[in-house]
Amino acid sequence: MNEKPHLTLFLACLLLCCGLVPALQAQESHFPADSPRADKANWMGQLADTMASSHIVLPGTHDSGAQHGGRLLQTQTTTISAQLEAGVRAFDIRLREHKGQLGLYHSHAFQRVYWESDVLPTLIDFLKSHPSEWLVVSLKREGGEAADYRQLLSQSLSSETYAPYFLFNWTANCTLAECRGRILFLHRDEVMERYPGVRCEGWADNATCLLTLRTAQGDATQVLLQDEYQYKSASESPKKLEAILSSLRQMHQPEKAATYCSGISFVSATAYPYATPKQFAKRLNSAVAEQIASEGLTPRGVLFIDFIDYPEGKQLVEQLIRSNFR
């Protein structure tokens, strides 16, 4: 019996397998974001450095620190540190002077944490440990004296130690490589003259509108803002859902719009004092996630979400992360 054909076939299979193994290993190093092994604390590390930062969709938390204040004011159940580990990359921070520092507030409710000693160091420490990631932080004065807010926030943002972790001149053309390991601040109120990040101009209350993001150097970028939040009852959640989906569809292909590059959309809503943020989150988060999947949407920008640690919230965060890898 001639064994040469069998030997030749064996060697060919061996060479083929040797060639395939590295290829399979290379594929595994770029596992999809919905893989059980996906590390949500480093998910942006899988994106290309050359990707435009304005083309990325970031899962965010609305009233990120609001774990206290009762059912009408609570919007989250986990700490900001836990949110970071869960893949959240955008934060809605509301601040007011409290005992000489800036306390996190939702309406009148102090959230028992401080910006200077708790939140900002947590964000910086996360970036030190996860340099591939990029954060967006919206800052808003939640009552109190404007002068106190400006003075205290300016002081914290003037730290030479923290300066390397701030984006000072973001534009829509910035690549992810330029943003990695840094925070882009969205200032909804007046602060220091040479502020890091961008100032928000034209943020209409309870509305959808175009928003201008302006750097301290004068560069301006426009984004689509959807911040419709006040309803009569939870039965109006379909109305809110349509507002969200309308904004996401426009954020999906913003190059078709001559005036804006991406968007900011709030999935959160309330019917104060008749229905709670949790009631809306239960109805909206899964519905938005399922619609993004069914339509194949790849929205660009930030989505601010309530109760991201509930199953519906986790579903939406994971869906947004996945949409960056289509």
pLDDT tens column, 177-191: 999 999 999 999 999
Residue 279 falls within a domain, yes or no?
Answer: yes
Is the N-terminal amide bond of 196 cis, ω within 30° of 0? no
Residue 296 falls within a domain, yes or no?
Answer: yes
Largest CA-CA distance found in the chain, in angstroms, rounded: 95
CATH number at residue 303: 3.20.20.190
Q: In the prediction, which pLDDT does 38 show?
A: 67
pLDDT tens column, 1-58: 444 444 444 444 443 344 433 333 333 334 454 554 468 999 999 999 999 999 999 9
Residue 276 falls within a domain, yes or no?
Answer: yes
User: Counting Cβ atoms within 10 Å, is residue 277 exposed (0-12), middle (13-18) or buried (19+)?
Assistant: buried
Backbone angles phi, psi at 32, to 5 degrees: -65, 155
- How far apart, in Å, are the Cα atoms of 281 and each of 40, 91, 250, 288? 22, 17, 22, 10
pLDDT tens column, 75-87: 999 999 999 999 9
pLDDT surpassing 50 at residue 285: yes
Nearest one of 181, 185, 183 to 45, comparing CA atoms = 181
Name the CA radius of gyration of the chain, rounded: 22
Residue 34 falls within a domain, yes or no?
Answer: no
Domain count for the chain, please give it.
1
Residue 16 falls within a domain, yes or no?
Answer: no
The mean pLDDT value for 140-162 works out to 97
Tell me which H or E stretch contains 186: strand 183-187
Residue corresponding to tokens 């309308």: 246
pLDDT tens column, 81-131: 999 999 999 999 999 999 999 999 999 999 999 999 999 999 999 999 999
Q: In the prediction, which pLDDT does 254 show?
A: 74
Residue 207 falls within a domain, yes or no?
Answer: yes
- How far apart, in Å, are the Cα atoms of 146 and each of 97, 120, 151, 155? 9, 20, 9, 14
Residue 18 falls within a domain, yes or no?
Answer: no
Q: Which two tokens stand for residue 179?
A: 């943003």
Show the DSSP H helices in 87-236 as ranges: 120-129, 146-157, 176-179
Give the mean pLDDT of the chain. Answer: 90
Q: In the prediction, which pLDDT does 304 show?
A: 98
Cβ(188)–Cβ(138) under 8 Å? yes
User: Which residue range(s) make up the domain with 170?
Assistant: 39-323
pLDDT tens column, 192-230: 999 999 999 999 999 999 999 999 999 999 999 999 999
